[in-house]
Chains A and B, each alone.
Chain A
Amino acid sequence: MIPLKKQYEADVAVIGGGIAGLMAAIAAADKGARVVLLDKANTKRSGAGATGNDHFLCWIPEKHGDISVVYNEFMDSQNATSNDTPLVMRFLETSPKIVNMWNDWGINMKPTGDFHFEGHAYPGRPRIFLKYDGHNQKKVLTEQAKKRGVQILNHAPVLEMFRNEEGVSGVLALDVSGDEPSFIMVHAKAVVAATGYVSRLFTTDPTPSQMFNTNMCPSGTGDSIAQAWRIGTYLVNMEKTYRHAGPRFLARCGKATWIGVYRYPDGRPVGPFITKPDVETGDMTSDVWSSAFTDLKLSGRGPAYMDCSGASREDLEHMRWAMKCEGLTALLDYMDKEGIDPGRHAVEFGQYEANLVTNGIEIDINGESNVRGLFAAGDMMGNISGDIGAAAVYGWIAGHHAADYQHLALDEGMPAQAGERMAFYSAIYERKTGASWQEANFALQQIMTEYADCGPHRVRSDTMLSAGIKYLGDLRRKMEKELYASDAHELMRAAEVINLLDLGQALMVSARERKESRGRHIRSDYTFTNPLLRDKFLRVWQENGEVKMAWRDRLI
């Protein structure tokens, strides 16, 4: 049995020290809570915001005037298909305070001297993305958390959450700081889950042989969504998979930082918005017509290029600076080394594989799930999107409310399920041979991509999804018997695949239930978009080992 070496007691345990997790920890500590934060890597450089970001969705009253200006623009954007309106309003209302906090702490929210909004915008319409310099954001937030006495446990991926009759009661983590694994238990009165985006569920689109070439950090495998699912938490919008786009073959977010025009090989612009590079708007084409790159390829009219050659020298310099704020220094170094100059060269763009980012744990206005004391924040929120802005703001909101449970008594006993789960993970480590995590992850990706991929040009159907669900069950049984890990790192990866499998199942049952085509969810057996389902969200959860589902109205 892998030994349990450390135990902690906390008012609030935070899972994941990304943008949302660090903000939650800071807010909870500000209210006097004892906070333990666990991260899979090191909070200084972990997650999707590791080396920077540069566009922060927010409302700045003196720039926008009424909040509805930002709300309307946001609801028209690429990922707004999963938004409950009251949550969006709370996010936007709270955003000026958070932006100012970040600025005071030393994350430069006014790199041009004042609040300036640019990129991700339509010509002639309001702009809602604040241009900022996030290159140091993780270090600053880590410092702020430490200053408030937050205990940060790095290299401590969480494996499970536990609940008792009243609510959430703690988490089990793995110490992966050395080769030998050991367990860590954190007893807590409230838990904020903030493990970010879900990568590695579908076959990597640009590079099928390179599983870690993903647009967001591949250490994000939706761990806490799956852990929450296993204790009966409601998940929502799981069928709404998303596909991002960007340069090929190096997969990376940050497309809005490129100041150029998407063009056909014959030079015509792909979209209707701009004909020459515009630093204020960027080219919105890929935000609106996200399948453009795939459409062009499959129709034989592609590939599509990002052409910045018409930008002024000054704008190209600005773009280079912005790419550093955005954390794209590896891309810049590579381009410099290879002599790729955006002023002269057009870079091919393409769509990446499907991911989960506007789906996950269903929260209320305070960030709390249906399980008492279990909060979720960031990319894993199921009913509000908004990337870095929403992660920062809702992280703070969730931490603020999680701290309210500090007056409860701590459940100090070992959670009822802890022994069984520790034995489960220990068995993987004690097995001497079997299936590696890579083998299991590729097997899962094959099934997901073949039976549950989303559009464009891929369809779902009742028979395909039913077959996929059956095959996932078969894979699960094999994994339970055969998965093996030779060190702590491999055991962490094996646990990730187990989580991804749970999410694959939740995704497939949801996709089967949504009997219409909508956006990227294309059903060959229900080819129409049903207006009656427009504002309906599908909730899924587990109860006594059975999957349950219910439709609800989107909150307006």
Chain B
Amino acid sequence: MPPVINTEACLGCGICADVCPLQVFRHNKVTDKVPEVKRPYECWHCNACVLDCPAHAIELRLPLTHMLLYVDADTLKPRDLPAR
């Protein structure tokens, strides 16, 4: 699930739901304190909710599909291939 809310720290202000460009959250101010992460698959990982949460209660978790591919830079060199 992309944004993960720390429910203890959340103030229930609804800012995350208001600023999210993709409506990942659903927040009914009357009935819920903590917003529901209703549409995790529509998250763009823009970080707006993380940056704007006054309680620093949101962390983004990138799905495995989005993993960054990397190698140690010093492995970028000619390989010794077995002789044919």
Q: What residues of chain A have their CB less than 8 Å away from a CB belonging to chain B?
A: 40-42, 44-47, 50-51, 154-155, 176, 179, 207, 209-214, 217-219, 247-250, 263-267, 303, 305, 307-309, 327, 329-331, 333-335, 338, 340, 344-348, 489
Contacts and interface: CB of A to CB of B under 8 A. Distances in A.
A487 to B, nearest CB: 9
A218 B44 contact: yes
Contact of B46 (A217, A309, A340, A348): A217
A267 B78 contact: yes
B1 interface: no
Contacts of B76: 263-267, 305, 307, 346
20 contacts: A41-B19, A42-B18, A44-B52, A46-B21, A51-B46, A210-B63, A218-B22, A247-B68, A249-B68, A263-B76, A264-B76, A267-B78, A305-B73, A309-B74, A329-B50, A330-B62, A331-B68, A333-B47, A338-B68, A345-B72
B21 A217 contact: yes
B77 interface: yes
A155 B14 CA distance: 14
A23 to B, nearest CB: 18
Given A45-B46, A346-B73, 18 more contacts: A45-B48, A45-B52, A210-B66, A218-B22, A218-B42, A218-B44, A219-B22, A250-B62, A250-B67, A266-B79, A303-B69, A327-B47, A330-B45, A330-B46, A331-B68, A347-B69, A348-B69, A348-B71
Nearest to B62: A334
Contacts of B22: 41, 212, 218-219
B46 A347 contact: no
Interface residues of B, number: 36
Contacts of B19: 41-42, 44-45
B33 interface: no
A443 B73 CA distance: 40
B60 interface: yes
A283 to B, nearest CB: 14
B79 to A, nearest CB: 7
A257 B21 CA distance: 23
B83 to A, nearest CB: 17
Contacts, number: 133
A327 B52 CA distance: 13
Q: Which 6 A-B pairs have the closest CB atoms?
A: A309-B73, A330-B47, A348-B69, A45-B48, A41-B21, A45-B19
B75 to A, nearest CB: 8
Nearest to A308: B73
A489 B72 CA distance: 43
Interface in B10-28: 18-23, 26
A178 B21 CA distance: 15
Given A249-B66, A249-B67, A265-B76, A330 B52 contact: no
